[in-house]
């Protein structure tokens, strides 16, 4: 019989390898072929899909979650590493006799590309976003008590406001660049990249190179650690020691020295220059930058272009530049809101199904979920997407031209109910309305009337 398996314990040092060794010895004693993949401090002896497909028995001796996609559609014997160490012969016999085996339901194959620098950056953004969103909103709420309510030196000091500011601004916001860096590094090197990424990102925060430094530290951490942890071969007897001590020591040292002596100083200068430039925008420059932000936000409605400019704007918040994120938010709300308005004003240019979808766009747009516009763009891209770009660019240009800032990075129209979050609330509402109307009128002008037959099919 052909047996394959995976062993994995939480620390990846001892039980992973002990369980693998016991299973090998038991299988050989019983006269079976066996191959065990060890997911310890690094993954060794990786199973191929052919080996999994041709196996008569699959044993997963694991004490933590592992990737199971390879085993979907298969029957497996799942136990702990302790059971594998203690009763290896017994569980092999049970597995071959279909005793207490489980069937993993087959799932659709995920063809998404997990490699590439863009995906590494997006992984970092996913790590960072909880800190940004929660931190930003907590800061915004603290300002509801008064603009100086979190300052202990102020006569308007409020303890709750101070606590919210400390949680959101002094803690969550301070962790967003380290989280970004750690997420990028982990995407490249796996779990081993987390620590050097976190250290590199913290150095970027401390030394002022901000999110640009964090992105660079994430890449350096990821690629250096990937070489150390996954490319260099060491004897199995030294593997645990190597992964536990040598990999983090060298990777953190290399990343730390690179950040201190090579990266932080020039990137800090670049970020300071960029911050100064953005803070001193004239009205005309602000309008031009707003047009660019709006166009990028609406171009792919939550895709890579949209994410690039919104991530850039979130990063600028860490440097105290709050104008671009306000423009991003208004430009992100406009596409669904404009389409919702268009379905009301130009009913004969939308199918019944589209008019129904338009109702949900009111909520999606108000909540800053730009993706609500995608179904309309997919159905008629040549007419809808240019209209969305035009409306979002209008809204963002008004926002940037008027010098509007937002202390919250997300939340859509709902943050306007928190006092002091948006500095020029009335103009901000005008920006939203203007973008919405431009979008709706453009769509109404460009789209053709729906043929009666199309609607009759929908009803």
Cα–Cα distance measured from residue 448 to residue 272, given in angstroms and rounded to the nearest whole number: 49
Residues 87-133 have pLDDT tens digits of 888 888 888 888 888 877 665 444 444 457 877 887 887 788 788 77
Contact 212, 267 (CB under 8 A): yes
Per-run averaged pLDDT (10 residues), the chain, 459 residues? 84 74 87 87 80 87 79 83 83 84 64 62 80 74 73 84 86 87 90 93 87 88 91 80 89 95 88 69 72 86 73 76 87 91 90 81 81 76 89 92 83 77 87 94 88 54
Question: Could you tell me which of 190, 193, 186, 145 has the C-alpha nearest to residue 168?
Answer: 145
Q: Which contiguous run of DSSP H or E holds residue 415?
A: none
DSSP strand pairing (2-8 vs 33-39)? parallel
Cα–Cα distance measured from residue 357 to residue 332, given in angstroms and rounded to the nearest whole number: 18
- What torsion, rounded to 10 degrees, do the Cα atoms 292, 328, 188, 109 define? -100
Cα–Cα distance measured from residue 298 to residue 143, given in angstroms and rounded to the nearest whole number: 30
Give the pTM. 0.61
Residues 274-328 have pLDDT tens digits of 666 666 655 567 788 889 888 888 887 766 677 778 878 877 776 677 888 889 9
Q: What is the DSSP string of 331-379?
A: HHHHHHHHHHHHHHH-GGGS-HHHHHHHHHHHHHHHTT-GGGGHHHHHH
Instruction: Show which residues are catalytic.
Output: 9
Distance spanning both ends of the chain, measured CA to CA: 59
């Amino acid at each position: 019989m052909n047996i394959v398996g995976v062993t994995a314990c939480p620390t990846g040092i001892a039980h992973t390898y002990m369980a693998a060794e016991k299973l090998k010895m038991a299988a050989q004693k019983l006269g079976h072929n066996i191959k065990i993949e060890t997911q310890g401090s690094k993954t060794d002896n990786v199973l191929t899909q052919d080996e999994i497909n041709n196996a008569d028995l699959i044993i997963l001796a694991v004490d933590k979650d592992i990737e199971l996609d390879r085993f979907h559609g298969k029957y497996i014997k799942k136990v702990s590493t302790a059971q594998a160490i203690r009763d290896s012969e017994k569980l092999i016999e049970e597995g071959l006799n279909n005793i207490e085996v489980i069937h993993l339901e087959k799932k659709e194959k995920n063809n998404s590309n997990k490699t590439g620098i863009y995906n590494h950056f997006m992984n970092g953004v996913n790590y960072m976003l909880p800190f940004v969103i929660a931190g930003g909103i907590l800061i915004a709420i603290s300002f509801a008590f008064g603009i100086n309510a979190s300052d202990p030196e102020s006569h308007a000091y409020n303890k709750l406001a101070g606590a919210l500011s400390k949680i959101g601004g002094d803690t969550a916001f301070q962790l967003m660049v380290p989280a970004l860096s750690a997420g990028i590094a982990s995407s490249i090197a796996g779990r081993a990249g987390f620590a050097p990424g976190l250290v590199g990102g913290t150095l970027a925060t401390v030394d002022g190179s901000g999110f640009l430094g964090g992105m660079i530290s994430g890449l350096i951490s990821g690629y250096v650690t990937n070489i150390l942890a996954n490319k260099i071969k060491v004897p199995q007897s030294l593997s645990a020691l190597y992964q536990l001590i040598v990999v983090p020591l060298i990777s953190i040292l290399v990343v730390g020295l690179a950040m201190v002596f090579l990266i932080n100083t020039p990137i800090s200068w670049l970020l300071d220059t960029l911050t100064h430039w953005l803070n001193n925008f004239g009205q005309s420059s602000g309008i031009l930058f707003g047009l660019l932000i709006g166009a990028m936000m609406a171009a792919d409605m939550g895709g890579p272009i949209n994410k690039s400019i919104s991530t850039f704007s979130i990063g600028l918040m860490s440097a105290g530049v709050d104008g671009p994120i306000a423009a991003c938010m208004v430009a992100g709300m406009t596409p669904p809101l404009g389409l919702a308005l268009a379905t009301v004003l130009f009913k004969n240019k939308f199918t019944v199904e589209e008019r129904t979808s338009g109702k949900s766009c009111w909520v999606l747009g108000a909540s800053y979920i730009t993706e609500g516009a995608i179904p309309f763009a997919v159905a008629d891209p040549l007419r809808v997407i240019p209209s969305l770009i035009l409306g979002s660019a209008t809204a963002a240009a008004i926002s940037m031209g008027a010098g509007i800032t937002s202390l919250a990075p997300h939340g859509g129209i709902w943050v306007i109910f928190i006092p002091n979050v948006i500095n020029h609330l009335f103009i901000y509402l005008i920006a939203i309305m203007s973008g919405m109307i431009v979008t709706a009128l453009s769509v109404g002008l460009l789209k053709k009337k729906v043929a009666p037959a199309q609607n009759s099919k929908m009803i």
